[in-house]
Amino acid sequence: MGLNYHNLKKHRRNFLDITGLKVEEFEKIVEKVRPFQKKHNLRFNIIAGIVNLRHGF
């Protein structure tokens, strides 16, 4: 089973350990990135505090 936001956010300490961000910080980034992501059809991942953007298929 892979990690996903909806399951991981329930375990805040693990979320922080994996992403380097608190859930609230992550949600603020998502809020800002979402319009750009939709406009350019991008998928994004946040791992260890790094935003990784790539084209979605």
Per-run averaged pLDDT (10 residues), the chain, 57 residues: 78 88 89 81 60 51
Is the entire prediction scored with pTM above 0.75? no
Distance CA 38, CA 44 (A): 11
- Please tell me the distance from the alpha carbon of residue 17 to that of residue 30, in angstroms, as a whole number: 18
Task: Tell me if 5 is assigned to some domain.
Answer: no
Containing structural domain, residue 28:
24-57
The Cα–Cα gap between 22 and 45 comes to 15
Residue 37 lies in a domain: yes
pLDDT on residue 7: 83
For position 24, what pLDDT does the model report?
94
- Is residue 47, in this structure, part of any structural domain at all? yes
Question: Structural domain tally of the chain?
Answer: 1
Task: Classify residue 7: in a domain, yes or no.
Answer: no
Domain assignment present for 11? no
